[in-house]
Amino acid sequence: MNYKKITIFLVLLTLVGSLVFGQALMISKPAASVFLTETETITVKQLEAQISALNTLRLRSGQQTAITSKSEKLEILDMMISDLLIMQGADRDGIIAEESEIDNAVANQKAQYEQQKRRPYTDTEFRNEVIRETGYTWERYRGQMERQIIQQKYILAKKQAEIQSMVKMPENSDIEAFYRQNKTQFSNPDMLRYSQVFISTMNKDAAGRKEAETKINEAYRRYQNGSMTFEQIVNDYTEDQNAKYRNGDSGYIAYSDPNATAYLGKNFMDDIFELSNGEVSRVLISNIGYHIVKITDIREAKLLGLDDTVLPTVTQTVREYIAQQLILKAQNNALSAALNSLVADLKRDADITIFEDNIE
């Protein structure tokens, strides 16, 4: 399940802007000159930097072939020209991206990433995943979102009727056929929901870790002797302020989640998945601190039916998810066609010079 909602071509156009045009200009031979509302030059160094960035992305995605031929380089240059034309056209027509639109785009990608990974992510976790997977800073990632929004708004402003005519609601038969072809993709791993008392040991010296151990043992002793309930020790002792006011609820966690295992440690994961529903653990140690855990729900691994929810924490069913994905696919196809049409229109109005002899 891919959490990116726009076409590969539009993604690459955005990468052109975020990876290359944001760099300081260096003295270099020109690869192309573009004029729609102003003259902008794409240098050979910028083209080479873009090709290097795309080759890196290819390697990360498992592709072994690099962009080396002149014809491939000219294709990348054409995409860079298209990006400049779209951004100049959008600027000419007053198309901008509001901060709220960027926030919504980030939230939508986070939601789709959660569906892909089959678990909820905190904002901090998602930010760290974006930085790890893309190599961007968070500011650069938001800048990419801004360019995507501007490009999409401009395409819609110019080609909305064309796009709408191409997008149809999927039939039930389409949804069921997609499900049959991809049934094994729709599954949930072993999961559990837990509440906890948490005392951090992160960035603490030996004395700080000893203090944390004393604090968690005191909380557990009070729970064991009956002087305090689990909810009371959460309220009085936990350092997880986000979960504190939910009686320590930390949501669902999947046993097979490599990110959770790397963050918390395999021993901790093994310990909590050995507990029964409703059971309160002894003091447990993870990579980040001390825990007293209470299991509040256990979900065994299962293949999902069309009317099962995608995740325990959401109301969207598999049927609704597939319908959404089929609509997105149709929208992406329509968007790609509209993008090609818009670029062709802009090229007719622009002055473009390609210095092919400078490209080896």
Same domain for 148 and 47 = yes
Provide the number of structural domains found in the chain.
2
Task: Give 186's DSSP letter.
Answer: S
Same domain for 284 and 325 = no
Range(s) of the domain holding residue 333: 8-169+317-358
Query: Within a domain: residue 49?
Result: yes
Residue among 245, 240, 259 at smallest CA distance from 114: 259
What is the number of H-type helices and E-type strands within the chain?
13, 9
Same domain for 324 and 293 = no
Of 267, 300, 333, which closes a domain? Answer: 300
Query: Within a domain: residue 335?
Result: yes
Beta bridge partners of 352: 34
Same domain for 131 and 35 = yes
Query: Within a domain: residue 165?
Result: yes
Of 254, 273, 300, which closes a domain? Answer: 300
Query: Within a domain: residue 3?
Result: no
Same domain for 165 and 206 = no
Same domain for 196 and 153 = no
Look at the pTM and tell me if it is higher than 0.85.
Answer: no
Residue among 19, 95, 102 at smallest CA distance from 57: 19
Of 300, 326, 346, which closes a domain? Answer: 300
- Report which secondary-structure segment, H or E, holds 152: helix 138-166
Same domain for 154 and 15 = yes
Query: Within a domain: residue 179?
Result: no
pLDDT computed for residue 360 by the predictor: 87
Same domain for 219 and 105 = no
The CATH number given to whatever domain includes residue 148 is 1.10.4030.10
pLDDT by residue for the chain (360 residues), tens only, comes to: 333 333 334 444 444 454 445 444 456 899 999 999 999 999 999 999 888 888 887 887 777 788 889 999 999 999 999 999 999 999 999 999 999 999 999 999 998 888 777 677 889 999 999 988 887 899 989 998 999 999 989 999 999 888 888 888 999 999 999 999 999 999 999 999 999 999 999 999 999 999 999 999 999 999 999 999 999 999 999 999 888 889 999 999 999 999 899 999 999 999 999 999 999 999 999 999 999 999 999 999 999 999 999 988 889 999 999 999 999 999 889 988 999 999 999 999 999 999 999 998
> Hey, is 43 helix, strand or coil?
strand
CB 331 within 8 A of CB 160: no
Same domain for 338 and 220 = no
Query: Within a domain: residue 269?
Result: yes
Query: Within a domain: residue 283?
Result: yes
